[in-house]
Amino acid sequence: MSKILTMSGIAKRFGPVQALGGVDFDLDRGEIHALLGINGAGKSTLIKILSGVYVKDEGTITIDGEAVELGTPRAAIEAGVATVQQHPELVPDCTGVENIFLGGEGASPGLFRRMNRAAMREKAQKLLVRFPIEIDLDARVGEMPAVDREIVAILHALRHDHIKILILDEPTSTLTEREKASLFQMMRALQAGGISIIYITHRLEEVYEIADRFTVFRGGRNVATMTLGEARLTGVSIPELMLDEAAGDLYPARDGRSDGDVLLEAKGLGCGAHFSGVDLVARRGEILGIFGLVGSGVDELSKVLYGAMRHDVGELVVKGETRNFRGAHDGLAAGIFLVPGDRRTEGLTMTKDVVFNTTVAHLGRASWVGGLLRMRANRQASERLARDVGLQPFELDRPVSAFSGGNQQKIVIAKGLFRDADIYIFAEPTVGVDIGARAKLYALMRELSQRAAVIVVSSDCDEVHGLADRVLALYKGRPVHPGGAEPTRDQLLAAGIMGARAA
């Protein structure tokens, strides 16, 4: 198979930090190639060089047999490279068609330009003929499911006919299993249409499902490139390649405690059409796991327990006192902290630095009596917590928007630890977090559970089953007990995706 892309001897340095040390990477024509590595391994730097965000210090790039210089995003697009970021910036009030052609609406030049909607719709239909996928592009993006928004972002990237290489950065991080299947269908249609795809993911099971080859970066170097068949034949472990060590146990050992103080209890809890009839108990000294797919009500349940949403049925008891929270401030005052699933809009102030984001949830601790910030103490606390969560790079003055998604999640968790709460609710805690950082965060949650009640709410069945002492599943808004004192992973999965106990 011929090469559509060859990157040779690519080097990039940021001050004293060597982000890439002369790496090689190639992409076959019509291939889906997974690019893997823990946060800070260098894969994001390589992709930013390819997409024109960074300028390489050394090396050569050849696209379709021609040497190219990709100094700007425009130059990358002109060379046939398009990128869909992990969180595509779309306009919710505009339709799919309008979002696809943002910045190129087909209007004729002049002072009083108008959108040529007919031309836009015609071009959109041509895209759907080229890459067959079922989607209503006349719907407003804000009303679309997550997978359709991802497809709109992809079509926006491919609106230029000459695009040959598509980079997808963590496209499945917010998708359900069914939506993921729809996205993979779209990727195979792109592949069949002649598009070569570089696929970045931390979900290693997806590599075996969709990729033709994979490359692992570690420490700014390419440590392996092979097909999935070669990996199976030789017994290669992708996690061990990423970590340069035996992967070991991802989840920390349970200590068997079940007699800690009850800190939070729900009795017949319900919230409109989102969920109903939820009974749960969270104790100090253990981790309670709640498994449910996106749309099952788990996100709303986490917000009700915290106070960001109000329940309309049932009773919520916090440290022995029945509570009716009026908002998140009441939850915080009661000693509850929520690490939200949507870190960008609910967990972080993206334009502010790490110290600000770490300390903002507890201004009483972060300030002197007169309201002035305790600058030195806040920085020292932020440094300690950043080390605890494994923040990379360790640059506390950077705005959090400059960090990868996985590192942004670590900052949200550091923010929760600064709050020093009695009850922690982690919603989708490891979305976009690599396997090495996951093990560290899981160990941190286990340690935290020794002094606080910890609730982990996740659409990752393996995460809930591997981490929690007790588990509950939500299916279409109703609780389903998987069965048995210690249900198997298959029992928990059956409860969450089918609403019934496994046979």
Q: d(Cα 335, Cα 453) in Å, to the nearest integer?
A: 10
The pLDDT, as a whole number, for residue 479 is 92
The pLDDT, as a whole number, for residue 245 is 58
The partner residues of 281 in beta bridges, in order of sequence, read 265
DSSP annotation of 400 reads G
The partner residues of 25 in beta bridges, in order of sequence, read 7
Q: d(Cα 25, Cα 22) in Å, to the nearest integer?
A: 10
The pLDDT, as a whole number, for residue 1 is 62
Which parts of the chain register pLDDT below 50?
502-503
Cβ contacts of 441 within 8 Å, gap of 6 or more: 389, 390, 410, 413, 429, 430, 433
Q: For 230-249, what is each residue's pLDDT tens digit?
A: 988 888 888 888 876 555 56
CB < 8 Å & 24+ apart, contacts of 207-210: 207/34, 207/36, 207/238, 209/184, 210/32, 210/34, 210/184
Dihedral Cα 252, 254, 259, 262, nearest 10 deg: 30
Domains recognised in the chain with CATH numbers: 3-243 (3.40.50.300), 262-498 (3.40.50.300)
Q: Are 459 and 428 in contact (CB under 8 A)?
A: yes
The pLDDT, as a whole number, for residue 373 is 87
| Helical segments of 262-353, H only | 298-306, 328-333
The pLDDT, as a whole number, for residue 345 is 78
The tokens of 103 are what? 């910045």
The pLDDT, as a whole number, for residue 114 is 63
Q: For the chain, how many residues are written?
A: 503
The tokens of 231 are what? 């990996």
DSSP annotation of 110 reads S
Helix then strand then coil, % of the chain, to nearest 5: 35, 25, 40
Task: Note if the pTM is more than 0.85.
Answer: no
Cβ contacts of 26 within 8 Å, gap of 6 or more: 3, 5, 6, 7, 225
Query: Identity (one letter) of the amino acid at 370?
Result: G
Q: d(Cα 215, Cα 223) in Å, to the nearest integer?
A: 8
3-class DSSP assignment, residue 257: coil
Beta strands in 38-121 (DSSP E): 58-63, 66-68, 81-84
The kind and range of the H/E element at 279 are: strand 275-283
The pLDDT, as a whole number, for residue 502 is 47
The pLDDT, as a whole number, for residue 12 is 92
Dihedral of CA 265/270/276/277: which sign? positive
Q: For 431-488, what is each residue's pLDDT tens digit?
A: 777 777 788 888 889 999 999 999 999 988 888 999 999 999 999 899 988 766 678 8
The pLDDT, as a whole number, for residue 199 is 95
